[in-house]
């Protein structure tokens, strides 16, 4: 079989359009010097190529939805504990600042 031979075009697709849309499309194709069949074939090929490129790059909508739900769940768990944490008190600082010089050194922090 010859690989350079174009594929046989034996299948058809029927679509319904308003007469004004069909007339405008046919006039545009004539003005561009191509057939309506060629324009539609190119559109279908572009759509198929775009769909396969979309699948191979990035996340699809299901993965995005799952990531969003997981993020919301994590936020719902973390938010209450963050909201309940109290601001640091002077007593807590004094416990860390063992030599009471007003500065917590790394050694003082590690000794807590």
CA distance 75 to 67: 12
Q: What is the pLDDT of residue 59?
A: 62
pLDDT by residue (tens digit) across 87-111?
777 888 888 888 888 888 888 888 8
CA distance 108 to 103: 9
Both tokens of 4, joined, read: 């350079």
pLDDT by residue (tens digit) across 65-88?
788 887 777 776 666 666 666 677
- 1, pLDDT greater than 60: no
Both tokens of 16, joined, read: 């319904």
**Domain coordinates of the chain in residue numbers?**
14-57
The pTM of the whole model exceeds 0.75: no
CA distance 103 to 100: 7
| Residues 59, 68 contacting (CB under 8 angstroms) | no
DSSP state of 84: H
């Amino acid at each position: 079989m010859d690989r350079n031979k174009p594929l046989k075009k034996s299948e058809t697709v029927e679509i319904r359009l308003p007469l004004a849309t069909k007339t405008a499309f046919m006039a545009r194709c004539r003005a561009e010097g191509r057939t309506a069949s060629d324009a539609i074939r190119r559109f279908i090929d572009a759509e198929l190529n775009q769909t396969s490129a979309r699948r191979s790059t990035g996340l699809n909508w299901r993965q995005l939805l799952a990531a969003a739900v997981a993020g919301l769940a994590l936020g719902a768990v973390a938010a209450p504990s963050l909201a309940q944490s109290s601001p640091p008190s002077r007593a807590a600082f004094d416990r860390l600042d063992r030599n009471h010089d007003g500065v917590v050194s790394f050694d003082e922090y590690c000794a807590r």
